[in-house]
Structure 1
Amino acid sequence: MNWILLIIGGLFETGFATCLGKAQETTGKESYFWWAGFVISLFLSMFLLYKAISVGASPIPIGTAYAVWTGIGAVGAVFMGMFLFNEPVTFWRMFFVFTLIASVVGLKVVSN
């Protein structure tokens, strides 16, 4: 269950990065909507990280949890940047994103 909480928390980290980017692009009431999404996503992301490291019979070690959480957020933010903000898609960029994914999966595999 803690791994599911951690993965959802990582997705909310992607959400707060995306909301931050959109808030910077917009003005007026639309900007407030994105800022609200940023704050809500930030809170939920941090809360789920906290729950993953402190709840249940086998909490995830903080080093592993933080690395996986930030990895999910980083990969998600890169993909959202490509899809929503027209950031470049290059071979080397994708190579290192997939290296990061492999590292996150590796941490999950070697964790108890």
Structure 2
Amino acid sequence: MNRYWLYVMIGSLAEIAWVSGLKHSITLSDWILTILAISLSFWLILIASGKLPVGTVYIVFTGVGTAGTVAAEMILYGEPFQFVKVLLIAVLLTGVIGLKLITSQPQPEEQLTERSDA
């Protein structure tokens, strides 16, 4: 796996943490951890977006974050299980995986040409 895709996945996990943190933080330390998760999440996505297709990075980031947040709410916080919700999340993840699979990464020469043309 390309290390930049690893950054996207770690950033997505941090997104799950901070979204849940926004809803469930009570203490000052909870809020500090939430702010750190927000910072880590966006920092990793910015780094990954510099080397990978931005649209695909964004879709993977938000798709995994959304699916993970829904799952975390059900598993950790007692959100009721709804088959239709889980089915729709599965459809979302299928689309995210499909986009990642069909997105080609520019070769280093193409990246240099694109930047010098701008």
Alignment TM-score, normalising by the size of structure 1: 0.86
In structure 1, C-alpha distance between the alignment counterparts of 2:99 and 2:29, rounded to whole Å: 36
Aligned to 1:5: 7
In structure 1, C-alpha distance between the alignment counterparts of 2:64 and 2:85, rounded to whole Å: 16
Deviation (angstroms), 1:72:
1.0
Contact 1:9 1:45 (C-alpha < 8 Å) held by counterparts: yes
Deviation (angstroms), 1:102:
0.6
- After TM superposition, list the pairs within 5 Å mapping 1:33-112 onto structure 2: 33-54=29-50, 59-112=51-104
RMSD: 1.0
Deviation (angstroms), 1:97:
0.9
Cα deviation code 1:58-93 (max 9, x no counterpart) = x21111111110111101100111012211111101
Contact 1:9 1:44 (C-alpha < 8 Å) held by counterparts: yes
In structure 2, C-alpha distance between the alignment counterparts of 1:73 and 1:32, rounded to whole Å: 24
Deviation (angstroms), 1:100:
1.1
Contact 1:20 1:34 (C-alpha < 8 Å) held by counterparts: no
Aligned to 2:107: none
Deviation (angstroms), 1:38:
0.8
In structure 2, C-alpha distance between the alignment counterparts of 1:100 and 1:89, rounded to whole Å: 17
Question: Which residue type is aligned with residue 93 of structure 2?
Answer: I
In structure 1, C-alpha distance between the alignment counterparts of 2:87 and 2:30, rounded to whole Å: 31
Can you give the 5+ residue segments of structure 1 that lack an aligned partner in the other structure?
Answer: none
Which structure ranks higher in relative contact order (CA pairs < 8 Å, sequence separation ≥ 6)?
Answer: 1
- Matched-pair identity in %: 30
Can you give the 5+ residue segments of structure 2 that lack an aligned partner in the other structure?
Answer: 105-118
Q: Which has the larger radius of gyration?
A: 2
